Amino acid sequence: MKKQKGITLVALTITIVVMIIIASITTYAGIDLIKEAKLQDLVTNMLLIQAKAKECVEEVKFQKLAIESDEAQTYLIGNKLSGSEAETEAKEVISEINDGNIKNYYYLSEGNLNNIGLKDLSIDDYGYFIIKYDIENITAEVMNTKGYKGNYTLKDLQALQGD
């Protein structure tokens, strides 16, 4: 009788099961990496916006202008949030805006984003970037209407990175 060569059915089954386990672990790890990359991308863009916005606030403070003045608004990036197409979307996610105090809030259009060097950000993909200017304290708080896992402010998103 000839000696049979080949793989047994048991060995083949075990090999397939092990390969399925390895593939599923790799898939979940890849999904987590993609999510982490999206969070990092959003935070990086918001940090760039915050840096530019703070530069504008410093210029307004240096010129000793009130935020309501027309001259101050020429230094600030963005468009007034009040009465804009971004206001409705912003009110849905940023609770402080719902209090009716939106005079210091500005949103960035795609043109504004292009002007500060963020050329590949579309409103459809990233939502609106909202800036709350505080001239007195020389700060600019950045928010995003799409956010990430229910977090919309830069501070909240940075806290997520620390987890």
d(CA 129, CA 119) in angstroms, rounded, equals 14
CB-CB neighbours of 76 under 10 Å: 21
Instruction: Flag whether pLDDT at 70 surpasses 80.
Output: no
Is residue 1, in this structure, part of any structural domain at all?
A: no
Is residue 2, in this structure, part of any structural domain at all?
A: no
Is residue 147, in this structure, part of any structural domain at all?
A: yes
- State which of 39-43, 119-123, 151-155 shows the largest mean pLDDT: 39-43
Report pLDDT for 16: 95
Report pLDDT for 8: 86
- Domain containing 115 equals 9-162
Per residue in 20-57, pLDDT (tens digit) is 999 999 999 999 899 889 999 999 999 999 999 999 99
**Domains: count for the chain:** 1
Locate 144 and state its tokens. 């995003």
